[in-house]
Amino acid sequence: MDSFNEAKKVDNKVTGTREVIWKMNNKVNLTIDEVSEEDISRLTEMVIKLWPDCNYEEEFVNCLKIKESINQTIFIAKEEDAYAGFIQLAIRTDYVEGTTTSPILYIEGLYVEPNYRKQGIANRLVKKAEGWGLAKSCSEIASDAELNNIDSIEFHKSIGFKEINRLVCFSKKIDQ
């Protein structure tokens, strides 16, 4: 039995602040909620797993700022006290490659703990994000992935994103 695909969805409202997901094979339920102050420390630990070059203290402060923002949010997937993953979102009004409208819902980060992967959690986090974006007048969602993050690229394609472009970024110090 695929634990997520055959799961009973107890609360199917994407636009609310809470969604409950049941995994039938081991009778564990996951909740998806907007980040709370109590979540910040554990969230920051996951942020560092996604972006290991980041600094814990800076990301902790960043997560607090996002929590208070009206144009950014983070949804957390939890199994009781265990943190399964998160999605970090922003409303962008600048140009976003491949889009034709504004504002744009942008996935700044998406992470699922290894032992929770391949159970549909990332997909549910994106669905939750889409509901939040619709409530913020967004009609398009965009994201990005590192060129070498094949799992992320394949995940995006599997849920309906289309690849727009591949690029390499450059920078250079200006001689004084």
* 94-105 confidence digits (pLDDT tens): 999 999 999 999
Question: Quick one: average pLDDT of 55-61?
Answer: 98
Q: Identify the burial level of 12 via C-beta atoms within 10 angstroms of its C-beta, where 0-12 means exposed, 13-18 middle and 19 or more buried.
A: exposed
Q: Which of 38-52, 57-71, 125-139, 162-176 has the lowest mean pLDDT?
A: 162-176
Nearest to 76 by CA among 37, 115, 104, 106: 37
Residues near 152 by beta carbon (within 8 Å), at least 6 away in sequence: 110, 145, 146
Residue 26 has pLDDT above 70, yes or no: no
Residue 146 has pLDDT above 60, yes or no: yes
Look up the pTM and report it.
0.82
Stated as kind and residue range, the H or E segment containing 11 is none
Residue 15 has pLDDT above 50, yes or no: no
Sign of CA dihedral 56, 58, 59, 63: positive
Domain 18-158 classification at class level: alpha beta
Question: Quick one: average pLDDT of 21-40?
Answer: 76
**Higher pLDDT, residue 87 or 13:** 87
pLDDT bracket for residue 29 (50, 70, 90): confident
- Domain locations along the chain: 18-158
The whole-number pLDDT of residue 169 equals 85
